[in-house]
Structure 1
Amino acid sequence: MWNNVRQLNFAANALHVLLVLVLLAAGGYWLIQRPNFALHEIQIDGDTEHINSPTVRAGVVGRLKGNFFTVDLDVARQAFEQMPWVRHASVRRVWPNALAVTLEEYKPLGTWGSDQLVSVDGELFTANQGELEEDLPAFDGPDGTAKEVVARYHDFQKWFAPLGATPEEVTLSPRYAWTVKLSNGTQVELGRERNQDTLLDRSKRLSAAWSAVTQRWGKDIEYADLRYPNGFAIRAAGMRFITEPDKGKK
């Protein structure tokens, strides 16, 4: 090799190239470590009704590692999405020392159980309920049923509208029986769904008879049991009235 001029020239050129690459890498590493590129700003945009600077500092800033070049955007996104109220976050770099974050908050529809909220999309999340500006309906049900309960809530809104009332509480029991508390104070027991029309038929039965029921017993109907095959029972002012009673409930 030492007598081969071509090979010597090739080796020398390769060493020069390697040296240049090493110098460039070292220079690049030195450059990206400069204080100028340390993260100094987080720009928040999107849904920020429940997000403020103290919340971001407390929940996210301490978890961001690196600078403009080295910060892991996926880790940053996950950190923002773990904050209360945040459903989704997108994060991008802003030259030379900032991050821009676009947030999407959960839209609360009601409370769920004792300590959670449920969104309009039927997603459960945890947040400070003291931040709510209005009273929300209360929902509850077995694990994995939030979307079903939300869907039924919208059905009950339509089905009980003829009563001049709206659902304030919707509960699906561990046996998958439905109970609705209406804004007029009436608790409605609908029972379990036998088929796709069970709840609708039972709700219609009560709505169709509501005018006659209130004319006879007054508007203070505390309880309505719709679990009878062809009738229902009500309780008002200490009385119990059964229309078309059948044997047993379903």
Structure 2
Amino acid sequence: MDGGGRVLFAVRGDRSEDFAAYGAPASAASAEGVVLPRPLRRVVRFIVSLCSGRIAIPAHAGKVSFVGFYSAIAVYGVVIGGHGPAVSHALTSFAGFAIEDVKVTGNEQTSEIDILQLLGLDGSTSLLGLDITAARQSLSDLPWVESAEVRKIYPSTVEVVLRERKAYGIWQHGTELSLIEKSGSVIAPLRDNKFASLPLFVGRDAETAASDVETEFAKFPEIASRVKAYVRVAGRRWDIHLDNGVVVKLPEDGVAGALERLSRLDADQQLLSRDIAAVDLRLSDRTTVQLTPEAQERRLVAVEERRKALKKAGQSI
């Protein structure tokens, strides 16, 4: 009994020491039966050891904690205030990744100034912070740009490769003049005279039908070279205005046949070089020629003189 009691006392004595190490009296633990969770025991043990001096605190722990605390506050303020991208650009630029050179190719009509403005380069922009996808989309939205490629060349160069749209003709709608592609898509308003040599298409739906009619005229280059404007009439057919003011009225269908007839008349009789106002080819079985007012007046004078001459000769008209 004494031996067993002594053993039991030793075990209880050990448990009392354990509870004392956690800062809790053994009697209280036995009376209340409080058992702390394992993670919390470690925390309590660390705090008790720290307060009792059994754990040594490094000499500069306070300074490091101070710097870390205020650094965390600064980072939090930057993020909350939305200044993260600016700070990131500044740091990476300071590290040697500031964009110093932009190489642009394929821009015949697009200004390099417009390209640089869309890229948002201000001399301190970081190559790491440049959003390639956003830059490509912004450049593709320019009027003349069909597609754009943007590449980063480390440490400080941006390469821009553009594919531009091709101007096919000038479309006049009302009082507005616009440059169009062969498909009829509008590129941009006409601002200068460097595209004056392009064919002019006038009227509603003229831009979408432009390539078809020009393809027909390409078979007759001697006539096509004299065309000043293609005028769309009621969205169905064309009136062609030549450089000498003559208007050629084409049919809705059978344009190739009408142009062949016109080419033959011009080759045989120099029709388009005469003093006429219009040639009507809308009917396949006849060609109607309208004289200019001056030519009509001369013709009337000639007819009257002939009538007088015949009358004088005693002949009837």
- The TM-score normalised by the length of structure 2 is 0.54
- The reply to whether residue 130 of structure 1 matches residue 192 of structure 2 is yes
Q: Note if 1:188 corresponds to 2:248.
A: yes
Say yes or no: does 1:61 pair with 2:116. no
Provide structure 1 residue ranges, at least 5 long, that are not aligned to the other structure.
4-25, 241-250
Match of 2:304 in 1: none
1:37 aligned to 94, 97, 100, which one? Answer: 97
1:99 to 147, 158, 173: 158
- Structure showing greater Rg: 2
Distance 1:212 1:237 in 2: 21
Moved more, 203-212 or 226-235: 203-212
Tell whether the 8 Å contact from 2:144 to 2:165 is kept in structure 1 after alignment: yes
TM superposition shift of 1:127: 4.6
User: Deviations along 1:24-59, whole A, 9 cap, x unmatched?
Assistant: xx9xx998751133444321012x33233333345x
Question: In the superposition, relative to structure 1, how do residues 142 and 67 fare at CA in structure 2: closer, same or farther (>3 Å)?
Answer: farther
Corresponding position of 1:81: 140
Identity of aligned residues (%): 22
* TM-superposed deviation, 1:117: 0.3
* 1:151 and 2:206 correspond: no
Number of matched residues?
Answer: 207
Larger relative strand fraction: 1
**Which residue does 1:204 correspond to in 2?**
260
Deviation at 1:181, TM superposition (A): 1.7
Deviation of 1:83 after TM superposition, in Å, equals 2.6
What value does the CA root-mean-square deviation take over the aligned residues? 3.5
TM-superposed CA distance for 1:213, in Å, is 4.3
How far does residue 82 in structure 1 lie from its aligned partner after superposition? Answer: 2.7
**Structure 1 residues 104, 121: CA separation in 2 closer, same or farther (over 3 Å shift)?**
farther
The offset of 1:218, in angstroms, is 5.1
Larger RCO (CA within 8 A; separation ≥ 6): 1
Q: 2:179 matched to 1:117? A: yes
Change (3 A) 1:31 1:175: closer
Give the one of 109, 122, 145 matched to 1:50.
Answer: 109
Amino acid at match of 1:129: R
1:126-154 Cα offsets, whole Å, 9 max, x none, are 055316264322113545x6353123213
Cα drift, residue 190 of structure 1: 0.9
Q: Alpha carbons of 1:127 and 1:90: their partners in 2 closer, same or farther (altered >3 Å)?
A: farther
Query: Could you tell me how far apart the structure 1 residues matched to 2:234 and 2:227 are?
Result: 20
Match in the other structure for 1:230:
285
Runs of 4+ in structure 1 over 4 Å off: 29-33
Deviation at 1:101, TM superposition (A): 0.8
Q: Deviations over 1:90-125 (max 9, x none)?
A: 212221233211112222222112231023454320
The structure richer in helix per residue is 2
Q: Aligned partners of 1:164 and 1:132: how far apart in 2?
A: 20
Distance change (3 Å), C-alpha of 1:175 and 1:109:
closer
